[in-house]
Amino acid sequence: MSRLNELTIHQLAEMLRSREISAGDILADCWSRVDEVEEKVRAFVSLNREGSRHQKDKAEVRLRQGDSPDALCGIPMGLKDNLCTRGIPTTCASKVLAGFRPPYDATVTARLADTGAVLMGKNNMDEFAMGSSTENSGFFPTRNPWDLDHVPGGSSGGPAAAVAADEVIYALGSDTGGSIRLPATFCGVVGLKPTYGRVSRYGLVAFASSLDQIGPLTKDVVDCALVMNAIAGWDPRDSTSANLPRPDYTAFLKDDIKGLKVGIPREFFEEDSDPEVKAVVKKAIQQLEAMGAICEETSLPSTEYAMSAYYLIATAEASSNLARYDGVRYGYRAEDTPDVVTMFQQTREEGFGPEVKRRIMLGTYALSSGYYDAYYLKALKVRTLVKRDFDQAFQKYDIIASPTAPTTSFRFGAKADPLSMYLTDLCTIPVNLAGLPGMSLPCGFVGGMPVGLQLIGKPFDEGTLIRAGYAFQQGTDWHLKKPPLKSGGAD
Ligand code: GLN
C-alpha cells in the first residue's frame, strides 16, 4: 500500500471521512518523507513543524465533529515563499527579506487556513520570482526530483518539487510569465495559472503587478479543482480581483470533450524547440482528438514580440515594486553606514542578487524620461496585439493547446546567459500578457524527464481547462508516474 504522502487530496479526503486514517497519520507520513528526501531536493526555505501540528490538531477536531468539512481539511501543503504567512518567515528567497515575518496573512493563506489546511513550510523560489530554474534563489537551488542534476524549473521550483517528491500533497505558487506552469512541466505535476483577477493577490509580494497570479500545483486535475474552490473569488482587499461569482470547479470534472474546439498555434511549436518534446505534445493533442475534440492549426502572429514586451513591462513594474526594500521598515539593513543614503544603497547592493539588480536596472531604464515612449509604451501596445490575437482565436476555439515549454528540464548551469534562460518561457509569457488562464498537464517523457501540455482558456473559463485536463487524465496515466527518488543523504 502507498504511503499517505503519495496520495492526492481527493483520495485522502475520502479516507479521512471514512475514518480509515487521521490527519495525524497523513502529516506523519509527509514529515517522514521530508526527513528522507529534503536533504537532496531542498524544496523548502523554512519548515513549519510546530505550527503544522497545531493546525493538524484543529483539523482533527473539525473532522471528528463531521460538519461536512472541506476537502482540504487536514491536508498538508506548502506555500511559495512570496505568499505572506503571519508570524512565519516570508523571504521571497531574497537576503533583503531575511528574517521578515509578516504581520498578516495573504488572502490565499487565510482562505486555506479557513478550510483546515495544514502548512508544512515555505517553498524555495527564484529571488522575487525572477527566473526559470530556482538558480536565482538567494539561498540555494532546488533540485528536480526526476534527476537531481536538473533544475526543477522556476520560479515556483520549490512548490513543484515538493509536490513531485511527495513531501506535500499540494502547493501554491505564483506565475508572472510562466512560474507555475514551467516548474509543473519540469517536475511532472499539474499547474494552473488562473485568469488575472480570479485569485486575490493580497499578500503576494509583488513582482509585476499587472501580470502576477497565484495558483495551485497539484498531483492531478481533481485536486486542482478542489484547491481552486478554496482560493478563487473576489476579495475587497485586492482591487484587481474580479467581482464575479466563483463556480464550483468540481462541477467541470466531466469526462467529456466531444466537440470541444481546440486551436493549435503554430508559433508555439517554433523551430528551436526540442523536436522530441514537440512530438510528445502532438501525440497528446491527438489523444484529445481521439476523445472527440476538434483540433485545428491556427496562428497567433504577435507571439514573436511577446518576450520583448514582457521583459520591458515586467522589469518596469518590478523596478517600481522593489523600490520599497530600503532597509528602513523591514528585512535586511546594511550595517555601519555613515548616512541614510549610503544605508539605502548598501542595503540594496548587499541584499539583492544579480538577476534582481539586472531587472531593476532594465526597468528603471525603460521608464526613464526620453525612453518611456520608445520602450515601455511600445511594449504596452504589443501587449494589446498579443491579447487581440487570443481574442480572435477564441472566437473560433474553446481552448488553445501547445507545449508548456520548448524543452524538458535542463542541467544546473546550462543556461548561464540570461537570454537563454528567458527563452524558456516562450510559450507561457503570452498567456500572462493577455491575462488568460493557462494549465500545464503531464503528457509524456523525453529522456526520462517530464513534458507538459499547456491548455489556454478564455478569460475566467478555468472550468473548461479543468474539464479538458480531467478528460485527458482519464484517458492517460502520465500524472500517475512518480520520480525514482530514493531516501538517504545527498548523492
Ligand atoms: N521566468 C520569468 C521571469 O523570470 C517568469 C517568472 C515568473 O513567472 N514569476 O520573469
Strand partners, 221: none
336: left (phi over 0), alpha (psi -120 to 50) or beta: left
Residue 128 has pLDDT above 50, yes or no: yes
| 206, pLDDT greater than 90 | yes
Dihedral angle of Cα 247, 249, 254, 259, to the nearest 10 degrees: 60
Write down the pLDDT at residue 150: 98
Distance 185 CA to ligand 1 centre (A): 14
Q: Cα(210)–Cα(200) distance, rounded to whole angstroms? A: 13
Atom of ligand 1 lying closest to residue 421 CA: 1
Does residue 270 surpass a pLDDT of 90?
Answer: no
Residue 109: pLDDT above 80?
Answer: yes
Over residues 325-339, the pLDDT tens digits come to 999 988 999 999 999
**Ligand 1 neighbours (beta carbon < 6 A):** 129-132, 155, 175-179, 207, 314, 425
Which of the two residues, 391 and 416, has the higher pLDDT score?
391
User: What pTM was estimated for this model as a whole?
Assistant: 0.97
Quick: pLDDT tens for 347-365. 999 999 999 999 999 999 9
Q: Which atom of ligand 1 has the smallest separation from the CA of 310?
A: 10
To test the pocket of ligand 1, the residue of 83, 130, 313, 321 to mutate (highest count of ligand atoms within 8 Å of its CB) is 130
Ligand 1 centre to CA of 129 (Å) is 6
For position 485, what pLDDT does the model report?
86
- The pLDDT of residue 7: 98
Mean pLDDT (the chain, rounded): 96
Q: Which of 217, 155, 172, 282 is nearest to 439 (CA)?
A: 217
Asked if the model's pLDDT at residue 490 lies above 60, the reply is no
Q: Tell me how far apart the alpha carbons of residues 126 and 80 are, in angstroms, rounded to a whole number.
A: 10
Just list the catalytic residues.
80, 155, 179
310, 425, 426: which to mutate for ligand 1, most atoms within 8 A of CB? Answer: 425
* 423/174: higher pLDDT: 174
- pLDDT, residue 16, reads 96
Element (H, E) at 213: strand 213-218
Grid cell digits, residue 229: 474552490
Which domains, and CATH codes, for the chain? 4-252 (3.90.1300.10)
Tell me how far the alpha carbon of residue 363 lies from the centroid of ligand 1, in angstroms.
14
Closest CA to 162 of 52, 49, 33: 33
For 442, other C-beta atoms within 10 Å of its C-beta total 29
**Cβ density class 381-407: b for 16+ within 10 Å, e for less:** ebbebbbebbeebbeebbbbbbbbbbb
For 134-181, the pLDDT digits (tens) are 999 999 999 999 999 999 999 999 999 999 999 999 999 999 999 999
Chain centroid offset of residue 219 CA? 13
If you measure from the C-alpha of residue 335 to the centroid of ligand 1, how many angstroms do you get, rounded to a whole number? 31
| 3-state per-residue secondary structure call for 253-313 | CCCCCCCCEEEEEHHHHCCCCCHHHHHHHHHHHHHHHHCCCEEEEECCCCHHHHHHHHHHH
Q: Residue 487: is its pLDDT beyond 70? A: no
CA distance 20 to 352: 49
pLDDT score, position 1: 55
Give every CB contact of residue 313 below 8 A, 6+ residues apart in sequence: 208, 210, 211, 376, 379, 380, 383, 433
Residue 181's pLDDT is: 98
Residue pair 362/282 in contact (Cβ under 8 Å)? The answer is no
CA distance 102 to 91: 10
C-alpha of residue 176 to centroid of ligand 1, in Å = 6
pLDDT at 491 over 70: no
Is 83 exposed, middle or buried, given 0-12, 13-18 or 19+ CB atoms closer than 10 A? buried
Mean pLDDT in residue range 446-459: 98
Per-residue pLDDT at 369: 87
Could you tell me which residue, 67 or 341, shows the higher pLDDT? 341
Work out the pLDDT band at 85, boundaries 50, 70, 90. very high
Q: Position 398: which residue type?
A: D
pLDDT at residue 332, rounded to an integer: 95
Q: Mind listing the pLDDT tens digit for each residue in 232-269?
A: 999 999 999 999 999 999 999 998 999 999 999 999 99
